[in-house]
Amino acid sequence: MKKKILFLSIMLAATSMMFNSMAQGNFAIGVKAGYNSSKFRTDNAGEIMAGDQQYTFSDAKDEAKGGLMLGAFARIRLIKNLSFQPELLYVKKGGETNFSGEFDNTVNTEYHTWDIPLLAHLKLIDLKAFNIYGVGGPMASFVASEDNKWGDINNYESISENMKNAQWSFQAGGGVEFGKLNLDVRYSWGLGDSSTELERVNNNLTFSVAYKIFDL
């Protein structure tokens, strides 16, 4: 409940800043698309099944899975080179976990989220032809759909893992801006377990292309 109140407060403040900046001409909006590579960090989850067959993830190996990302962004100038950049993105995430030892199986997890990064955008080098910038800040993610294949492990239907409806992470990166075109790369660190049952944190590497429809 506290997280929801905090999120709503941030969004209200961002909306107020956006309208104020539009009135002053310090506002930009655009669309973006990209490629997202996500990977779970699976920690030792302890005993998650009752009975004689109990196991941990001490012998699990995590692999990355790729997916597309689509969305839009706004940029609100605060001071000369510093702007606030909220975004709304639809992203495919997931990961592949390979088990060894007592079990020798591969489990695939895929899910889609609505991501809302709330970023500081800092112009680092400003040249005539292009400029280089850095971005960083918190990101809220809300699960839109998911497909977990835990039943593949010896048909253990008792394993019922779902992604948490709301997840938080920290995103940082940088890029190059050519006029209305932006190219950037970012990395997101999960700030807590993304799963309802297991100790799994989802981290993401994102490459994107953005186009500003309205410029500052």
Q: Looking at residue 66, what is its pLDDT?
A: 86
Amino acid 173 reads G
**Which among 37, 66, 42, 35 has a CA at the least distance from the CA of 150?**
42
Higher pLDDT, 45 or 59: 59
For the cut 50, the answer to whether the pLDDT of residue 202 exceeds it is yes
Q: Looking at residue 108, what is its pLDDT?
A: 76
From residue 66, how far is each of 74, 152, 186, 188 by CA, in Å? 25, 21, 14, 14
Amino acid 51 reads G
Instruction: Render pLDDT for 183-201 as a digit per residue (tens, 0 to 9).
Output: 999 999 988 777 776 677 8
For the cut 80, the answer to whether the pLDDT of residue 176 exceeds it is yes
Where helices occur in the chain by DSSP H, the ranges are 2-24
For the cut 70, the answer to whether the pLDDT of residue 39 exceeds it is yes
Greatest mean pLDDT among 6-10, 47-51, 158-162, 185-189 lies in 185-189
Q: What is the mean pLDDT of residues 173-183?
A: 93
Q: The tokens of 51 are what?
A: 């009975």
- C-alpha span between 159 and 156 (Å, rounded): 6
For the cut 70, the answer to whether the pLDDT of residue 158 exceeds it is no
Q: Looking at residue 122, what is its pLDDT?
A: 95
Q: Looking at residue 149, what is its pLDDT?
A: 58
With bands split at pLDDT 50, 70 and 90, how would you rate the model's confidence at 45? very low
Instruction: Render pLDDT for 47-94 as a digit per residue (tens, 0 to 9).
Output: 443 333 444 555 566 777 888 999 999 999 998 889 999 999 999 988
For the cut 70, the answer to whether the pLDDT of residue 114 exceeds it is yes
Q: The tokens of 204 are what?
A: 């993401």
Q: Within 13 A of 46's CA, how many CA atoms are on the CB side? A: 3
> At a CB cut-off of 8 Å and minimum separation 6, what does 103 contact?
55, 153, 154
Q: Looking at residue 46, what is its pLDDT?
A: 44
Q: Where are the beta strands (DSSP E) in the chain?
A: 27-42, 60-63, 65-77, 82-99, 106-126, 131-148, 166-178, 181-190, 200-214
Q: Looking at residue 131, what is its pLDDT?
A: 92
Structural domain boundaries of the chain? 2-214
pTM of the model: 0.75
- The CATH number for 2-214, chosen from 3.90.1310.10, 3.40.190.10, 2.40.160.20, 3.40.50.720, is 2.40.160.20
